[in-house]
Structure 1
Amino acid sequence: MRIPEITETTARPLGHCPVGTRGVLHAVRAAGTRRRRLAELGFVPGAAVEVIGRGASGLVIGVNDDARVAIDRAGAEELWVVDRA
């Protein structure tokens, strides 16, 4: 079986994903303190994520099936995911 290559065209910002989307975090496009804070919350490449809900100021995300995190829209745009097959 051939494993598909992940490219920039298959990855998309988490902020563009509808509620119910499950995926794998491909890249974190934040820098410095913000990148470190996202990593502390579990947002590291390879983490399983699911969009659980949307609010006026951001998203509620499930991370690795054991945490729920609220993140603002800017943060959601810095997290790039690939849909889980």
Structure 2
Amino acid sequence: MRVPEITDATVRPLDQWPVGTRGVLRAVRAAGPRRRRLAELGFVPGAAVEVVGRGAGGLVVGVNADARVAIDRAGAEELWVAGHD
């Protein structure tokens, strides 16, 4: 599977956004089982996401306004988001 190219400077990995940021997931840069697991958690392109909190090992993220998911830093680095307030 080919990883999508990101050419928009406003799209960054989810782990780079501060708490309170809302945005739209633009790309998942994971492959194989990890990509499938992220999709099962609701992380698919077009999903609305919000950084709800941060912990020592990762983030708590709201997905599509109906779920909160804890995700590790490596997973957050694979989720590319266009953010807005």
Under a length normalisation based on structure 1, what TM-score does the superposition of the two structures give? Answer: 0.89
Under a length normalisation based on structure 2, what TM-score does the superposition of the two structures give? Answer: 0.89
**RMSD of Structure 2 on Structure 1 (CA):** 1.4
State the number of aligned residues. 80
- Provide runs of 4+ in structure 1 moved above 2 Å: none
Structure-2 residue corresponding to 1:13: 13
Q: Equivalents in 1 of 2:75, 2:46: separation in Å?
A: 17
1:84, distance to aligned residue in structure 2 (A)? 3.4
SS of equivalent residue, structure 2 residue 24 = strand
Structure 2 unaligned residues grouped into runs of 5+: 1-5
The percentage of aligned residue pairs carrying the same residue is: 80
Structure-1 residue corresponding to 2:72: 72
Higher deviation after alignment, 8-17 or 36-45: 8-17
1:9, distance to aligned residue in structure 2 (A)? 1.3
